Amino acid sequence: MKFVVYILSPLLALILLLVKIPIFDDWAKKINPNAEYYISRFLILGTLYNYYLTVFSPYRMLEKLAKRKWIVLAERVAMLNSDYNGKFDFSCNIMIPRRRFFYRIEPTSNGSNKQRLTIWGDVFKVIWKSENAHFPQDLKITINQGVCGQAFRDASATNPQNVKGAVLTPEKLKNYNFNFTKKQLELTANLRIVASCPLVINEKGIKNEKNKVIGVLNIECIIEGSEKLIEDHASRKDFYVKLAKLSNLYLNLHV
């Protein structure tokens, strides 16, 4: 890449400038009558080679990296488990909102089995989950529900301060209002804790820059004793830092 920056690109620009000067054109033709032909071919090949090195090759590298991002992410989740000596067996998933029309997911009242009709809104879709994920196939959640919904709605950046977490044991569950139906509560009853980190990217517009929340990364655990990671201040701080780092890794791999 240094060759392109320091040699090839300036050389192509210099030749393009020189061929416009009559003295250089006459001098080149004196050396070789076919100089114009060779110079034009050199410029064409040099431009194509420059394009390959600066545009095509980096794009292909990013494309390959994007295909490997799920493997890299799974490896980092395994490393997160290793940080706690494997005793919690964390599972991970990534959810992004998708616009839906005419659906029944949210309850008519908290904890109700009746689902109200929503004309349009955003429903989370799981785009990736770790092999040991505890996310039920038939569980549907909107951005107005659960810890993940709160993290998504309140997000300003992908950092530990924006992570939302909850202890889901029966005695602690009453402290939260997840806006779940009874069926949703039953489908998540085996979870002990859940923590959700918003995935926020910076969009550069013509006039200004703005943050956009593209989804959430969730860590879940069904192992007894994991509650301390949320309840204890020092443990929670360390846990949220690790979760934010994992989320930023995904954003760096996100293409």
Q: Is residue 4 scored above 50 in pLDDT?
A: no
Q: Tokens 């940080």 identify what position?
A: 83
For residue 9, the model assigns a pLDDT of 63
Segments making up each domain of the chain, as ranges: 2-57, 84-253
115, 108 in Cβ contact below 8 A?
Answer: yes
DSSP state of 213: E
Q: Of 32, 77, 91, which Cα lies nearest the Cα of 247?
A: 77
Q: Is residue 76 scored above 70 in pLDDT?
A: yes
Whole-prediction pTM: 0.74
Q: Which segments of the chain are extended strands (E)?
A: 91-107, 115-129, 164-167, 193-204, 209-221
Residue 174: which pLDDT band, with cuts at 50, 70 and 90? confident
Q: How many residues does the chain have?
A: 255
Q: How is 125-173 classified by DSSP, letter by letter?
A: EEEEE-TT----TT---BTTSHHHHHHHHH-SSSSGGG-EEEE-SHHHH
Q: In angstroms, how far is the first alpha carbon of the chain from the final one? A: 22
> What pLDDT, in 10s, does the model give residues 8-53?
566 656 666 666 667 766 776 677 777 676 677 776 776 766 666 6
CATH 3.30.450 matches 84-253: yes
Residue, of 100 and 44, whose pLDDT is higher: 100
